[in-house]
Chains A and B, each alone.
Chain A
Amino acid sequence: MQHVIIIGAGLAGLSAAAALAEKNISCALISLQNSERAQSVLAEGGINAALDTMGEQDSVQYHYEDTLKGGVWLADPNAVRNLTGHAPEIVRWLENLGVPFNMTDSDIMLRNFGGQKKKRTAYARSSTGKIIMTALIDQVRKYEASGLVHRYSHHNFIKLLLENQICSGVRIQNLYTGELLDFKGIVLLCSGGMNGIFPGVTTGTTQNSGDVTATVFRQGVALANLEMLQYHPTTIGISGKRCLVTEAARGEGGRLYIMKQNQKCYFMEEKYPELKNLMPRDVVAREMFFVRREFGGEVFLDMTELPELTWQKKLSDLRQEILHYLHLDPKTNPIPVREGIHYFMGGIDTDEFHRTNIKHLYAAGECSCQYHGANRLGGNSMLGALYGGRKAAETIINSADFISEENINYSGEIPPPASPVLIRNISQILVSGLGIVRNQRSLQTALENLHSLSEQKDYTFYEKNRLLLAEAMLLSALERKESRGAHYREDYPDKNEAFRKTTVSECETESQVRISFRPIPEMRSDT
Chain B
Amino acid sequence: MITLKLEILRRTSPEDTPVWKCYDYQTPDDTANIASALNDLNQTLENPVRWECSCLQKKCGACAMLINQKPRLACDTSLKEFVKAGTVRIEPLRKFPVIADLIVDRTILFENLKTMKLWFAENAKTNGSQTAYEASRCLQCGCCLEICPNFYAGGDFAGMSAMTLTARLLTALPEAQKKEIFKAYQKHIYEGCGKSLACRKICPAGIEIDQLLVNSNAVAVWKRKFRHEK
Contacts and interface: CB of A to CB of B under 8 A. Distances in A.
B95 interface: no
Contacts, number: 137
B136 interface: yes
B33 interface: yes
Contacts of A36: 60-61, 139-140
B204 to A, nearest CB: 11
Contact of A96 (B57, B123, B129, B138): B123
Q: Is the interface of B mostly helix, strand, loop or mixed?
A: loop
Contacts of A34: 106, 110, 140
B107 to A, nearest CB: 8
B138 A139 contact: no
B29 A135 contact: no
Contact of A205 (B56, B135, B171): B56
A135 B118 contact: no
Interface of A: 33-34, 36-39, 41-42, 95-103, 124-125, 127, 130-131, 134-135, 138-139, 141-142, 144-145, 153-154, 176, 205-207, 238-241, 243, 320-321, 325, 420-421
Interface stretch (B35-43, B86-94, B178-186, B220-228): B35-43
B120 to A, nearest CB: 6
B219 interface: no
Interface residues of B, number: 55
12 contacts: A36-B60, A38-B54, A124-B133, A130-B59, A134-B168, A138-B119, A138-B169, A141-B118, A144-B114, A239-B32, A240-B35, A325-B31
A100 B131 CA distance: 9
Given A34-B110, A131-B137, A241-B57, 12 more contacts: A41-B55, A98-B124, A98-B125, A100-B133, A127-B137, A131-B136, A134-B135, A141-B113, A153-B107, A154-B105, A205-B54, A239-B56
Contact of A33 (B39, B54, B117): B54
Contacts of A138: 118-120, 165, 168-169
B126 interface: yes
B136 A240 contact: no
A134 B31 contact: no
Interface string B137-166: 111100000000000000000000000010
A43 to B, nearest CB: 10
B125 A239 contact: no
Contact of A42 (B55, B106, B124): B55
Given A100-B133, A134-B168, A145-B117, A239 B33 contact: yes
B127 interface: yes
A338 to B, nearest CB: 15
A34 B55 CA distance: 13
A240 B36 CA distance: 6
Contacts of B105: 154, 176
A41 B59 contact: yes
